[in-house]
């Protein structure tokens, strides 16, 4: 497949998968952060931990979009020159849905416990699983760029 067609397919992936998921993630992150500042001492730790996870997911999306910009503008050969920190944050963001799937399949936590509250919110990261598709596309394109 030519690089031009691959770029067009990737742009379609960005529009169909990344744009809606990113908007939902941004809204959910702002909502989760707002929960931290409410005075509920019994749920501060849970909300704070989930807010950190949400901010980590947002940083993964931003780093993925920066790598995407390089690919769309310059091609697969230039992906090799991208800062490795961006790749690290993107892969860290890809681990969140995997961890959420694992958490979802573990035995249930005790009712009304902080762990149950944390897992109920954390398991929503499962909805970020489709975001792995464009990341895999970028990784494959980076390997194609090595051959050039």
pTM for the whole thing?
A: 0.86
pLDDT in tens, 59-98: 999 999 999 999 999 988 899 889 999 999 999 999 999 9
Per-residue confidence (pLDDT) for residue 117, from 0 to 100: 85
- Annotated domain spans of the chain: 3-146
Per-residue confidence (pLDDT) for residue 36, from 0 to 100: 77
101-106 contacts at long range (C-beta below 8 A, 24 or more positions apart): 101/126, 101/129
pLDDT in tens, 102-132: 999 999 888 888 888 888 889 889 999 999 9
- What are the C-alpha distances in Å from 106 to residues 54, 76, 94, 127, 140? 21, 39, 19, 18, 32
Place 146 in a pLDDT band, splitting at 50, 70 and 90: low
Which residue, 101, 118, 100, 102, is CA-closest to 110? Answer: 118
């Amino acid at each position: 497949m030519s690089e031009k067609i691959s770029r067009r397919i990737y742009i379609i992936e960005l529009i169909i998968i990344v744009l809606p998921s990113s908007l939902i993630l941004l809204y959910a992150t702002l909502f989760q952060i707002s929960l931290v500042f409410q005075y509920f001492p019994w749920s501060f730790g849970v909300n704070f931990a989930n807010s950190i996870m949400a901010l980590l997911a947002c940083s993964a999306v931003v780093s993925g979009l920066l790598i995407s910009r390089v690919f769309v503008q310059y091609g697969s050969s230039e992906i090799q020159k991208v800062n490795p920190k961006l790749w690290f944050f993107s892969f860290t963001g890809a681990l969140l849905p995997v961890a959420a799937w694992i958490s979802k399949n573990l035995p249930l936590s005790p009712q009304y416990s902080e762990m149950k509250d944390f897992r109920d919110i954390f398991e929503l990261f499962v909805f970020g699983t489709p975001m792995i598709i464009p990341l895999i596309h970028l990784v494959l394109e980076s390997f194609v760029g090595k051959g050039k």
